[in-house]
Structure 1
Amino acid sequence: MKRLLLLLCALVSFSTFSAPKSDLWPYWKQSNEANQNQISHQEWQQLIDTYLVEQGENTLFRYNKVSSTHKATLKQYIQRLAKLDPLQYKQAEQYAYWVNLYNAITVKLILDNYPVESITKLGGLFSFGPWGEDVVVINGKSLTLNDIEHRILRPIWNDPRTHYAVNCASLGCPNLQTLAFTADNTQALLDNAAKHSSTAKGVSVQGNTAQLSSIYEWFANDFGGEKQLFNHISKYAPQYKNFSGKVTYEYDWSLNQAQ
């Protein structure tokens, strides 16, 4: 009976999953463009260099190899960012700050619960993943991963490439980048991520049928609307510019772990 209840809960959670809408949290739409100081992401880069590996079209994280020292480093990195006031920095610094913070917290959530088959197993009994749970306090305000992505990054920058930057620790997700985001490299990283996700990682065409990552379905409006998806995709994969066939969507929630 208990087993059946858990199964039903899982099915309900999955069936009710829907992508949050972009919903600006006005407090965070402030910046100090005169501030030329840079935020260091050295600790995060160190973890990426040590544990992220490229295999085929994926970058995979060696969660099972992370040392206790590096777990402490990750925790300290997140705590250091949380003590900063991002509003005192220019917008370019803020974007890198939020993306790196999101990705670092996601990796920490997996490590805190490892081994786990999928990030969707985290969260409460009736939750589909941990995205709605408070994970960090900044400027005295509790934030969830959903807040960072859907109430800060998406509505403030209005850049569809943000969907290629934030990583949900899943094979279906655009890859975790091999470089930490900085104000200087953000545009190049976003373009590279978009190119990769618009080809082998997120788009597959066989004959008159295109299989796309579900990200293009969940966030179609960010990419110009469902009918305009291939206008966006063809910016990074010109071979798909005139595609007008059938479109299906798929997403793999399996953990992005290296064996």
Structure 2
Amino acid sequence: MSKLKILFIIAVIFAGALAIKAYTLYQAISPNAIVSWQQSDEQSNGVIDHQLWGDILNHYLRENVNSGVREFDYAAVSQGDKAKLTIYLTQLQGIDPRDYNQREQMAYWANLYNALTIDLILKNYPLSSIKEIGDGITGPWNEELAVVANTPLTLNQIEHGILRGIYQDKRIHYVINCASIGCPDLPAKPLTGSDIESQLEQGAKRFINQRKGVHFDNDTLVLSSIYSWFSIDFGDNERDLLLHLSHYAEPELGEKLRNFDGNIDFAYNWKLNQPN
């Protein structure tokens, strides 16, 4: 058995233990509640307006020319734009997403997650990491930050209960951002139901070809800790994971991944995704 396979098995076992712990610590949405959020109107042609969120991203999200990582300029956000973000979040919480089709719903939940996270940072700024917010154990992810259809929700419930729990699409990881450099970059534009498929694909390709997502350190493959924490989302074994990564990797990196059979490490940078 290769060292990679052994490490992958250990990662899967560890991730499973973390999932059990997360369920108790983070008060994940109950199965009955998940079934409730699964409802949709597939005949609906309704479109949710994310223009306010788009304006904020356009003003404050920038790409670092040296690292290639998108950064959000929290320090520059005006009081007027903070108010605009509040209006946007209020508008989203006035919507019952189940009145829309599933594509529109997925975009809704991902935009809500990202906007709530930015709003959370702005309310606690200045700080160097999102992990400074909260109880010091579970961070801010178990705090009730939104009420949708009379249901209080946390970031963990939106991410793990709804986005991961309902849609079962590994690419969701690439379009939600936890305000950290190590996270997949915040999408430059709001997600939309009409473009969600291409946006998921673009997000996967972007992250996997960034150093923080996948890189080699001599003979060691270094992956984002996302692939350890959520290993269950990326297949049943290390070969499934490597095939997923190679599918989106640029040709040279993809070839190395397809032929890889060595040591693997995981890394993650929790530093706030802001300009230096």
TM-score, length-scaled by structure 1? 0.90
Letter of the structure 2 residue corresponding to residue 233 of structure 1: L
Alignment of 1:1-259 (within 5 A): 18=18, 20=22, 24=31, 25-55=34-64, 56-124=67-135, 126-200=136-210, 201-227=212-238, 228-237=240-249, 238-239=254-255, 240-259=257-276
Letter in 2 for 1:244: D
Give 3-state SS (helix, strand or coil) of 2:247's partner.
helix
Other-structure match for 2:9? none
Aligned equivalents of 1:18, 1:132: Cα separation in 2? 15
Instruction: List alignment gaps of at least 5 residues for structure 1.
Output: 1-16
Q: What SS is found at the alignment partner of 2:200? A: helix
SS at match of 1:135: strand
Q: C-alpha deviations, 1:20-45, integer Å up to 9, x for none?
A: 47875221010001110100100000
Structure 2: how far apart are the matches of 1:138 and 1:193?
26
Letter matched to residue 52 of structure 2: E
The SS at the match of 1:57 is coil
Query: What is the RMSD computed on CA atoms of the aligned residues?
Result: 1.6
- In the alignment, the residues of structure 2 paired with residue 77 and residue 225 of structure 1 have an alpha-carbon distance, to the nearest angstrom, of 39
| Count, aligned residues | 242
5+ residue gaps, structure 2: 1-16
1:137-183: CA deviations, max 9, x gaps?
11111000011010101121110011111100000000001011001
Deviation for aligned residue 1:189 = 1.4
Give TM-score, length-normalised by structure 2. Answer: 0.84
CA distance in 1, matches of 2:237, 2:54: 36
SS at 1:87's partner residue?
Answer: helix
Superposition misfits of 4+ residues, deviation over 6 angstroms: none
Identity of aligned residues (%): 43
